[in-house]
Amino acid sequence: MNYKLLKAKVSQQILRRLDKNFKSFFQANKDFNKNPTKYKGNPKPPRYKSNYHDNLIYNYQAFQVKGIVSVIENPIIKTRNLLYPIVSLIEYKQVAILEKGLEIKIPNQLWGKHIKQIEIIPKHHSFNIVFAYQENTEDYKKVKPFIIDGKRLKYINALYNKRKAKIQSKLQERNKKWSCRLENITNKRNRAVKDYLHKATAIVVKNCIEHDISKVVIGNLAKSLYKINLGKQTNQNFVNLALGQFIC
């Protein structure tokens, strides 16, 4: 029923993902017969999803970007801890209209960008919205080689693992595995990591565009961290890092 209620362009994206997953399975299974040592086990075909919710992908033909101008009467502006009442304020925003009655506000930094795709990712108590857009190569200037410092990401992850272990030890005393507090620090940590990695990938993409680089080579992050043993403290800095987000 839910599938039939979707727009044709959105439901087609679901079939395309399924087709892509099966092609990946057939390719992996064929390679497994030739090089079984490259894999942890025999590749398995896609299965039915057990979750009640799934991602929805709207391509550029399934949504419309619209600018909205509104007038706010008697707003109060706060500046340097002082309140200034004014008569009216004109507010402008851009929204993506996905369905009738369903609008998503577009971040200010994406105004005027050519948005190619919008993906809705359901979470436990919220939804994440991912905008895919096309950059204009003329907007960038050439820069020197650079290094992205990962100390901040290392600190965020190490602090989260320390707090998580402390909370879980208390939960075990009450025969529990999860709590609202643990969920809150997990969501906060995930948002911080996602923000850091997306900013890092944005820097890489911009530099590739500036220097006409069409291919980026990234090491196999999954294999490099599989069964890693660099000591307890070093392992704690890398465990649970969603490095796949850097590629995506």
Give pLDDT tens digits for 109-143. Answer: 898 888 999 999 988 788 899 999 987 766 655 67
- The phi, psi pair for 167, rounded to 5°, reads -70, -40
Q: What residue type is 139 in one-letter code?
A: D
Q: Sign of the CA dihedral 67, 196, 134, 136?
A: positive
Q: Is the pTM of this model over 0.85?
A: no
Task: Identify the domain containing residue 228 by its residue range.
Answer: 135-248
155 three-state secondary structure:
helix
Question: What are 53-111's pLDDT values in tens digits?
Answer: 888 999 999 999 999 888 777 666 666 666 666 666 778 889 999 988 889 999 998 98
The residue ranking higher by pLDDT, 240 or 181, is 181
pLDDT of 238 higher than 60: no
For helices 151-173 and 180-210, angle between their N-to-C axes, nearest 10 degrees: 160
Q: What is the 3-state secondary structure (H, E, C) of 78-121?
A: EECCEEEECCEEEEEEEEEEEECCEEEECCHHHCCCEEEEEEEE
Q: How far apart (Å, rounded) are the C-alpha atoms in residues 221 and 91?
A: 45
Mean pLDDT, the chain, rounded, equals 82
Q: Is residue 183 part of a domain?
A: yes
Lowest mean pLDDT among 172-186, 197-211, 216-230: 216-230
Domain membership flag for residue 143: yes
Question: 25 in helix, strand or coil?
Answer: helix
- Whether 130 maps to a domain, the answer reads no
* Domain contains 10: no
Distance in angstroms (rounded) separating the CA atoms of residues 217 and 204: 12
- The answer to the question of residue 36 being in a domain is no
Q: Is residue 57 part of a domain?
A: no
The verdict on residue 182 lying in a domain is yes
What is the tally of structural domains in the chain?
Answer: 1
Residue 170 lies in a domain: yes
Residue 225 pLDDT > 60, yes or no? no
Residues 46-62 pLDDT 10s = 888 877 788 899 999 99
